[in-house]
C-alpha cells in the first residue's frame, strides 16, 4: 500500500517522458485506449441487451415484458454508477486508483463472458452484476487517473477530458455496430462474446503501458487501518444479506427495480454530501466547493434522466416507430444508438479546441450545465412533430440525437472534469463517485420513466419531460453566478 503524499507533482513529473497526445500529456493515450475498449464492450453489450430481454425465446431472447425489461435496463445502468461509490471507496482507502481500475476491468471481462456462455436468466443476472460492479470501479477511477495528468491550474484539463470523452465514444460507436451485426447474423450470445473480446484487448494494452502513469496514481489518500478490516467485511456481508432478503421476499422485484435504484442513488448521494460537509479533513474552501456541487448534481441527474432513454424509450421507438428501411435493407435496431457517438467523435475535438482557445474566457461550469440541460429538453420536444407520422424517418431521430449530443458535450465531460477539480484532497475518487451518482439517479429514473411511454402517450410524454428539463436548465443559468462564486476559484 502506497500512502498519500502531500507533495504536489509538477507538470513535468506528471508526464516524465515529455511525449504528448493531441497536445495533452502522453499517458492520456493509455487511458484513452483502455476506456475506448471498455466502452466498446459496454455499449456493444447494452446495444443488444434490451432486445435480448424482450425478444421471444424463438428469436433467441428471454421473452420478458417490454416495460419490465426497460426498467431492468435503467436499473442496471443506474447500478453501474452506484457501484462507483464502492470503486471510489476501495481506491481511496485500500488500493489506490490505478490498481482498483485494473481489477475492475477484469470483472467487466468476466461479466461479458458470463452473458456469452451462461444461458437464460442466470447468465443475465451474473453477467449484469459483474459488469455493473466492474464498470462502477473503472468509471470512478479512470476519470481520477485522467485528472492526475494535470495540475489543478492547467487550462488544458477540460480539453483533455473532451479528448478522453472522444475515446469513450469511438468505443460507443463501433460497439453497437459490430455486436448488432453479429447478433442479427449469429445470435445474441456471440454478440456478448464479441464484447468480452473487446474488453480483453483493452485490458492487455493497458497492462503493457500502465507503468507510464504518474507515480501518485498508486497512492492511497486515506488508508484504512488494518484493525478496521473485520468491521467493514461485516458491513459488506450485512449489505449482501439485506439485498438478498429484499429480492427473496419480493419487496424488490423486476417491476420496481429501477425505482429502488433511484432511491438508493439519492440516499447514497445525501450520505456522501453530508460526510464531505462534516468531515474534519475537508477545508473551508473545499466545503464551499462541495456545496456548489449540489445544484450541479441535481442538474446532471435531470439531464441523464432524459439522455439515458436512448437505451430504453429510444430503443423501443426505433423498433416500433422508426422506418429503418434503407434502399431495401433494414438497419438493425442497435445501430440507432451509434448516432450519438458519431456526433461525439465529430464534435468533441471542436469543443476541445474551443475550450483551449478560450482558456480562462470560456463559460464557467454552471453556465455550460444550464445550456446543456436546456438542449437536452429541446431534443425531446423535437419528437413532437412526428407524433402523427406512422413511420418516422431515420434522419429525424438522427437530428434529435444531434441536439442531445450538443447538450451532452456541455454536461458530461465538463462534469467529470469538475468533479476532479472541486474534490477535497483527502477524497478525490469519492467526489468522482458522487458525480457518477448523479448519472446513476438519472439513469435509474430513465428506466422508471420508460414505463409511462407508449405510442398512444408519446405526445404528452415527450412534451412534458422536454418542457420540465428546459425549465431546469434555465434555473441553472439564473443561479450560475452565485454557484460559480462558491466554487472558490474553480472555473
Q: Is the pLDDT score of 6 beyond 50?
A: no
Q: Is the pLDDT score of 30 beyond 80?
A: yes
Residue 456, C-alpha cell as written in the block: 398512444
Which has the minimum average pLDDT: 1-5, 450-454, 472-476?
A: 1-5
- Degrees, nearest 5: CA angle 262-273-437: 35
Please state, as a whole number, how many other Cβ atoms lie within 10 Å of the Cβ of residue 29: 19
User: Percent of the chain beyond pLDDT 90?
Assistant: 34
Q: Is the pLDDT score of 4 beyond 50?
A: no
Q: Is the pLDDT score of 288 beyond 70?
A: yes
Print burial letters for 437-464: b (CB count within 10 Å at least 16), e (below 16).
bbbbbbbbbbbbbbbebeeeebeebbee
Instruction: Encode 19-84 in three state secondary structure.
Output: CEECCEECCHHHHHHHHHHHHHHHHHHHHHHHHHHHCCHHHCCCCCCHHHHHHHHHHHHHHHHHHH
Measured CA to CA, the distance from residue 15 to residue 12 in angstroms comes to 5
Which SS3 state, helix, strand or coil, does residue 331 take? coil
Q: What pLDDT, in 10s, does the model give residues 253-282?
A: 888 888 888 998 999 899 889 999 999 888
Q: Is the pLDDT score of 23 beyond 80?
A: no
Q: Is the pLDDT score of 191 beyond 60?
A: yes
How far apart, in Å, do the first and last CA atoms of the chain sit?
Answer: 34
Measured CA to CA, the distance from residue 487 to residue 491 in angstroms comes to 8
Between residues 491 and 398, which one has the greater pLDDT? 398
**pLDDT at site 326:** 77
Residues in the chain: 491
**Cα dihedral 343, 368, 291, 5 in deg (nearest 10):** 60
Mean pLDDT over 179-197 rounds to: 91
**Residue carrying the nine cell digits 483551449:** 356
With cut-offs at 50, 70 and 90, classify the pLDDT of residue 2.
very low
Residue 238, C-alpha cell as written in the block: 450485512
Task: Tell me the CA distances in angstroms from 120 to 15, 61, 72, 188, 367, one per residue in order.
Answer: 47, 9, 15, 11, 47
| Entry pTM | 0.79
- Smallest CA-to-CA distance from 381 within 468, 459, 463 is with 463
Between residues 321 and 15, which one has the greater pLDDT? 321
Between residues 415 and 112, which one has the greater pLDDT? 112
Mean pLDDT over 25-42 rounds to: 88
Mean pLDDT over 165-185 rounds to: 86
Listed in sequence order, the residues at least 6 apart from 247 whose beta carbon sits closer than 8 Å to its beta carbon are: 253
Q: Is the pLDDT score of 331 beyond 60?
A: yes
Between residues 286 and 211, which one has the greater pLDDT? 286
With cut-offs at 50, 70 and 90, classify the pLDDT of residue 11.
low
Out of 277-291, 350-364, 430-444, give the one with best mean pLDDT. 277-291
Out of 187-196, 311-320, 360-369, give the one with best mean pLDDT. 187-196
**pLDDT at site 258:** 87
Mean pLDDT over 108-137 rounds to: 92
**pLDDT at site 5:** 47
Q: Is the pLDDT score of 374 beyond 70?
A: yes
**pLDDT at site 93:** 86
Element (H, E) at 362: none
- Degrees, nearest 5: CA angle 25-423-209: 30
**Range list of β-strands (E), 267-352:** 322-323, 325-326, 329-330
Sign of CA dihedral 5, 7, 10, 16: negative
Which has the minimum average pLDDT: 56-65, 131-140, 148-157, 405-414?
A: 148-157
Q: Is the pLDDT score of 329 beyond 50?
A: yes
Q: Is the pLDDT score of 146 beyond 50?
A: yes
Helix 339-358 and helix 157-186: axis angle, to 10°? 170
Which SS3 state, helix, strand or coil, does residue 388 take? coil
How far, rounded to the nearest angstrom, does the alpha carbon of residue 321 sit from its chain's CA centroid? 27
Which has the minimum average pLDDT: 4-13, 114-123, 156-165, 201-210?
A: 4-13
Q: Is the pLDDT score of 395 beyond 60?
A: yes
Mean pLDDT over 217-231 rounds to: 86
Measured CA to CA, the distance from residue 31 to residue 188 in angstroms comes to 29
Check: CB of residue 71 under 8 Å from CB of residue 118: no
Between residues 448 and 381, which one has the greater pLDDT? 381
For the chain, how are helix, strand and coil distributed in percent, rounded to 5? 80, 5, 20
**pLDDT at site 56:** 85
Average pLDDT for the chain: 86
- Degrees, nearest 5: CA angle 124-125-131: 85
**Which burial class, exposed, middle or buried, applies to 34 when counting CB atoms under 10 A from its CB (0-12, 13-18, 19+)?**
buried
Amino acid at each position: 500500500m502506497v500512502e498519500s503524499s502531500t507533495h504536489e507533482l509538477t507538470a513535468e513529473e506528471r508526464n516524465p517522458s515529455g511525449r504528448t497526445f493531441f497536445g495533452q500529456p502522453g499517458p492520456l493515450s493509455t487511458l484513452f485506449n483502455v476506456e475506448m475498449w471498455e466502452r466498446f464492450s459496454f455499449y456493444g453489450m447494452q446495444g443488444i441487451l434490451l432486445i435480448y430481454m424482450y425478444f421471444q425465446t424463438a428469436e433467441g431472447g428471454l421473452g420478458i415484458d417490454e416495460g419490465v425489461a426497460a426498467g431492468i435496463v435503467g436499473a442496471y445502468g443506474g447500478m453501474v454508477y452506484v457501484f462507483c461509490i464502492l470503486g471510489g471507496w476501495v481506491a481511496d482507502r485500500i488500493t489506490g486508483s490505478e490498481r482498483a481500475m485494473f481489477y475492475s476491468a477484469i470483472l467487466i471481462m468476466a461479466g461479458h463472458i458470463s452473458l456469452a456462455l451462461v444461458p437464460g436468466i442466470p447468465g443475465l443476472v451474473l453477467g449484469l452484476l459483474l459488469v455493473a460492479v466492474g464498470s462502477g470501479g473503472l468509471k470512478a477511477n479512470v476519470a481520477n487517473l485522467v485528472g492526475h495528468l494535470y495540475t489543478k491550474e492547467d487550462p488544458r484539463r477540460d480539453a483533455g477530458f473532451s479528448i478522453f470523452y472522444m475515446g469513450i465514444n469511438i468505443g460507443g460507436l463501433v460497439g453497437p455496430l459490430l455486436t448488432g451485426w453479429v447478433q442479427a447474423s449469429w445470435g445474441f450470445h456471440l454478440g456478448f462474446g464479441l464484447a468480452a473480446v473487446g474488453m480483453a484487448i483493452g485490458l492487455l494494452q493497458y497492462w503493457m503501458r500502465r507503468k507510464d502513469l504518474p507515480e501518485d496514481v498508486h497512492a492511497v489518500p486515506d488508508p484504512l487501518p488494518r484493525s478496521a478490516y473485520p468491521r467493514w467485511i461485516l458491513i459488506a456481508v450485512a449489505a449482501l444479506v439485506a439485498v438478498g432478503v429484499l429480492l427473496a421476499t419480493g419487496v424488490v422485484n423486476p417491476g420496481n427495480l429501477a425505482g429502488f435504484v433511484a432511491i438508493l442513488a439519492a440516499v447514497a448521494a445525501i450520505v456522501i454530501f453530508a460526510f464531505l460537509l462534516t468531515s474534519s479533513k475537508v477545508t473551508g474552501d473545499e466545503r464551499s466547493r462541495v456545496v456548489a456541487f449540489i445544484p450541479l448534481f441535481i442538474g446532471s441527474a435531470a439531464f441523464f434522466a432524459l439522455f439515458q432513454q436512448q437505451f430504453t424509450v429510444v430503443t423501443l421507438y426505433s423498433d416500433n416507430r422508426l422506418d429503418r428501411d434503407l434502399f431495401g435493407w433494414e438497419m438493425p435496431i442497435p445501430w440507432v444508438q451509434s448516432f450519438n457517438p458519431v456526433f461525439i467523435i465529430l464534435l468533441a475535438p471542436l469543443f476541445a479546441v474551443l475550450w483551449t482557445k478560450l482558456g480562462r474566457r470560456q463559460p464557467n461550469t454552471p453556465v455550460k450545465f444550464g445550456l446543456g440541460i436546456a438542449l437536452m429538453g429541446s431534443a425531446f420536444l423535437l419528437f413532437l412533430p412526428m407524433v402523427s407520422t406512422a413511420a418516422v424517418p431515420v434522419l429525424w431521430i438522427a437530428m434529435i440525437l444531434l441536439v442531445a449530443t450538443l447538450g451532452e458535450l456541455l454536461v458530461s465531460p465538463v462534469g467529470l472534469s469538475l468533479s476532479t477539480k472541486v474534490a477535497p484532497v483527502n477524497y478525490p475518487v469519492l467526489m468522482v463517485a458522487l458525480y457518477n451518482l448523479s448519472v446513476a439517479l438519472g439513469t435509474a429514473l430513465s428506466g422508471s420513466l420508460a414505463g409511462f411511454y407508449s405510442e398512444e402517450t408519446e405526445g404528452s410524454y415527450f412534451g412534458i419531460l422536454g418542457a420540465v428539463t428546459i425549465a431546469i436548465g434555465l434555473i441553472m443559468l439564473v443561479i450560475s453566478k452565485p454557484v460559480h462564486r462558491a466554487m472558490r476559484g474553480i472555473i
